[in-house]
Amino acid sequence: MPEHRVTDRILLGHGSGGKLYRDLVKDIFVTAFANPVLERLDDAAALAPTGRIAFTTDAHVVQPLKFPGGDIGRLSVAGTVNDLATAAARPLALAAAFVIEEGFAVAELRAVCASMAATAREADVPIVTGDTKVVERGAADGLFITTTGVGEIVVAHDLGSAAVRDGDAVILSGGVGDHAVAILAARGEFDFRADVRSDCAPLWGLVEAAVEAARTQGGEEAVRFLRDPTRGGLTTVLAELTEESGLGIEVEEQAIPVSPAVRSVCDLLGYDPLTLANEGKMVLVTAAETADAVVAAVRATTYGRDARRIGFVTAAHPGRVALRTPFGTRRVLDMPIGELLPRIC
Amino acid sequence: MCLAVPMRITALDGFRATIAVEGLEQECSIMLVPGAGIGDYVLVHAGFAISVIDEAEAQETYDLIREIDAFDEGDDGAAGDDAERDGGADRAPDDGSAGGDDCR
Amino acid sequence: MTAADDLACLAAELREEAGPGLTFMEVCGTHTMAIARYGLRQLLPEGVRLVSGPGCPVCVTAMADLDRVLALARLPEVTLVTFGDLIRVPASRGTLAEERAAGADVRVVYSPSDAVRIAAAEPKRQVVFAGIGFETTAPTTAAALLEARAAGLTNFSMLSLHKTMPLPLRALLDLGETPVSGFLLPGHVSVITGTACYEFLAREYGIAGVVAGFEARDVLEALLMLVRQSEPEIAIQYTRAVRPEGNVVAQRLLEQVFEPSDADWRGLGVISGSGLALRAEFADADAARRFAVDPGPTLEPPGCRCGEVLRGVTDPADCALFGARCTPEDPVGACMVSSEGACAARYRYRGLDDA
């Protein structure tokens, strides 16, 4: 083992590229992420992808850094894996850039890295390169992480809103609202305790199973569209899809799973669970005849047990998402506007 | 106006009540309903209980609401069926509530 | 029977029993929301029309009052604490959200007690609570005020913009603009007030009123009760929460802390006695007296017809700005900002070619 000593707290010197920096990288990042490519400590990682690749990046600035069900580490890895998954891309490699506030506890950094490593292992993707900068106290909220990912696309056609057709099935991989409520509870601005954990999880396995089932049942182009309902929630994904595709969507309110605790918090603060952020869910649009097979395949995966078909794409009411209530009436779902605000009225 | 949620009092310390409903727990003041006790359902608005709710009547409404909210684990996931959802819906609600309507 | 069946049954009875040309007015923003959320208008028979009245406390707050709140927020020593409902409402020159982005210390709370906690935790700040809401909320701010007093806090004050319900109904009816067959009366306001204060509707105006709850079946049941009344009277559908005498403890608290004052209602003008002002003995906690602020000239947005919408005279869709210049993302008037404003609720129906 190389000899070096890392201090208790991150110092400005750790970002300066010299010995302190090298020690930090080896002791914390390389140790946690442990893979042959990273261990070379080259400035760039050489990869050998096959076929078309997907490429994505995401900055993560969550507060608090740790919350029930996860932390910024798990969030950053899962988030990028999931973005790649929306392109039907198997994650090939990740990069992670850290901006750390001077004074940040090294033990906390280790914990975040352990979390990233565990999530990366789960998703079977190595973190092969990265960067670290340290900024003065007060210039960052503890820790910001930017993850960038490269993946191998496993379908031959282009997924997206242009591929969606009248009659396609709209499938949701599970219950909504958990991540947002878990964060809200953890932030402590409104004093409540809820039986809710963030759903933060890497979903490539789920998407791979879905794509396979759709392909088997309905041919190469049966999978049309994949998107994860993060900020803005399910409503935003559906509204964007109708806007981009020029088609309409109808979903059934009762088919959308919402856990009782999430519902209670929403009732209390006046939130709509359909507009809340998720970090471990996927919206899938596939050819109608493949819906049952896709739902079954997703339900057989770890994070898709509550998957269900929630609606369909329609040529009626183009550009609009209609929600059918349990009473058979309908209302339009609009994208939420900006800040999530609790109300008393 | 206004948003108020029924919750059950699970603990009491003077006017400080711990209230809970379906996976959510918080505190409120029962200063406006000083006669409320542990086990009572109260309507909570902006951190204060404003009314004690008649439990029998409340139960009936909540059964209906929760049945609407519940998602059936046994469902094969196919929405758009014409058949009504099953989840416990055949239970007849309690009798004797207000309204005088005949829809039971 | 399932909930959907239950509602279908109520709707069927309504169709059977309701005559033509009935207009029912709801005067509670939460009812506006519930009706929109459950799509209840789609279940009503042809002859029954539901209109929204002045029931959204945010929507009925006068521009000058909003300007006063923003002016207070701009004071460097002030921490302006508010319910989330106010953050995006357009005042003459911007919103509280914009003031916050420009550096004002604006905080959102769920309970007025949280404002008191902030005052206790930050003794160097002048914590001002913006008290909006009707009789449901006013007792909670009164209680918070007493909490602050009991804790000996000198840095807590509130701006009371509270208004009370029954008087605007009288003002509305006296205007004689819309024939109202009956009122869906506010469920939670009535938890506090009880029903005696509405008796004048039946006695003096011959108009029925039913206090309704907020679930879909509550609203339909209340409409059925209205339709079935042979003699106009005030009744309670929401019996699980509302008693005829109301919440006497809360009423006493209101009397202890507040006194009736004139209040300026958007759309209805000044209605004397319809506001709640802090009594003289609480003058030290009255932000209106503690801080001298100049709210600046009041600018009503041109073309905005919120006032008429609030009186139930104009349907939101008939306002030229609706859906074009005025949308939930970029609202002109309060009726579009508040999720329970009539315009915001109405906006959700556009585009769907259904009943």
Predicted confidence band of residue A176 (pLDDT cuts 50, 70, 90): very high
Residue A5 pLDDT grade (very low, low, confident, very high; cuts 50, 70, 90):
low
Q: CA of A270 to nearest chain B CA: how many angstroms apart? A: 7
Task: Please state, as a whole number, how many other Cβ atoms lie within 10 Å of the Cβ of residue A262.
Answer: 27
Residues of B in contact with C228 (CB under 8 A): 100
More confident residue, C317 or B49: B49
CA separation (Å) from C232 to A162, C175, C198, C206, C208?
Answer: 58, 20, 12, 6, 4
Give percent of chain B with pLDDT exceeding 70: 58
Residues of chain C with pLDDT under 50: 354-355
| Per-window interface: B 45-74 vs A, CB < 8 A | 45-46, 66, 68-69, 71, 73
* Digit-coded pLDDT (tens) for A260-297: 999 999 999 989 999 999 999 999 999 999 999 999 99
Which residues of chain A have a CB within 8 Å of the CB of C37? 325, 331
DSSP C163: B
pLDDT in tens, B14-23: 999 999 998 9
Mean pLDDT over all residues of chain B?
72
CB atoms within 10 A of CB A326: 21
- For C352, which of A322, A325, A345 is closest by C-beta distance? A322
Chain center to CA of B8: 9
Q: What is the pLDDT of residue B78?
A: 40
ipTM above 0.95 for this complex: no
d(C-alpha A175, C-alpha A155), whole Å: 27
Q: Which pLDDT score, from 0 to 100, does residue C331 have? A: 85
pLDDT for residue B99 is more than 50: no
Tell me the pTM. 0.89
- Give residues 2 to 21 of B whose Cβ lies within 8 Å of C: 2-4
Residues of chain A with C-beta less than 8 angstroms from the C-beta of C117: none
> Cβ contact (<8 Å) for A334 and C328?
yes
Question: Which chains contact A through at least 3 pairs of Cβ atoms less than 8 Å apart?
Answer: B, C
| Residues of chain B positioned with their CB less than 8 A from the CB of A326 | 68
Burial of C189 (0-12, 13-18, 19+ CB in 10 A): buried
Residue of chain C nearest A333, judged by CA positions: C348
Q: Does A5 touch chain B (CB under 8 A)?
A: no
Phi/psi for A58 (5° steps) reads: -150, 135
What is the C-alpha separation between C171 and C311, in angstroms, rounded?
A: 10
Give the per-residue pLDDT at B66: 66
pLDDT at A270: 86
pLDDT tens-digit readout, A133-146: 999 988 888 999 99
Share of chain A above pLDDT 70, in %: 98
C196 min Cα distance to partner chain B (Å): 17
Picking from A327, A338, A342, the nearest residue to C108 by CB comes out as A342
Q: Which pair of tokens denotes residue A5?
A: 């000593």
The helix/strand/coil state of C168 is helix
* Rounded distance between C-alpha atoms, residue A32 and residue A28, angstroms: 6
3-state secondary structure of B3: coil
Which chains are within 8 Å of B by 3+ CB pairs? A, C
Give the one of A326, A330, A337 whose C-beta lies nearest to C329's C-beta.
A337
Rg of chain A taking only CA atoms, in angstroms:
21
Best CA proximity match to C43, nearest among C4, C73, C84, C69:
C4
Q: In angstroms, what separates the C-alpha of A326 from chain C's closest C-alpha?
A: 6
Contact (CB<8Å) A264/B24:
yes
Q: Pick from A175, A194, A270: which is nearest to B23 by CB?
A: A194
The yes-or-no verdict on residue A170 having pLDDT over 80 is: yes
B58 has pLDDT over 80: no
What is the CB neighbour count within 10 angstroms for residue B20? 18
Neighbours of chain C (3+ CB pairs under 8 A): A, B
Residue B74 burial by Cβ neighbours in a 10 Å radius (0-12, 13-18, 19+): exposed
Asked if the model's pLDDT at residue B86 lies above 50, the reply is no
Position B100 scores a pLDDT of: 40
Q: What is the pLDDT of residue C330?
A: 84
DSSP one-letter code for A140? S
Q: Does C4 touch chain A (CB under 8 A)?
A: yes
How many angstroms separate the CA of residue A300 from the nearest CA in chain B?
12
Chain A nearest CA to B35, separation (Å): 23
Residue of C nearest to A188 (CA): C109
Q: Nearest CA to B46 among C150, C132, C95, C69?
A: C132
Asked if pLDDT for residue B104 goes beyond 90, the answer is no
Task: Provide the token pair at C236.
Answer: 């309670």
User: How far, CA to CA in Å, does C6 sit from each of A61, A84, A241, B103, C211?
Assistant: 47, 46, 35, 6, 20
Q: Does B61 touch chain C (CB under 8 A)?
A: yes
- C 322-341 residues with CB below 8 A of B? 340
Q: Is the pLDDT of residue B68 over 90?
A: no
Alpha helical stretches, state H, chain B: 55-69
Stated as kind and residue range, the H or E segment containing C187 is: helix C187-193
Contacts of C176 (CB under 8 A, 6+ apart): none
Min CA distance, B61 vs chain A (Å)? 15
Closest CA to B98 of C10, C221, C26, C30: C221
Average pLDDT (B39-62) is 88
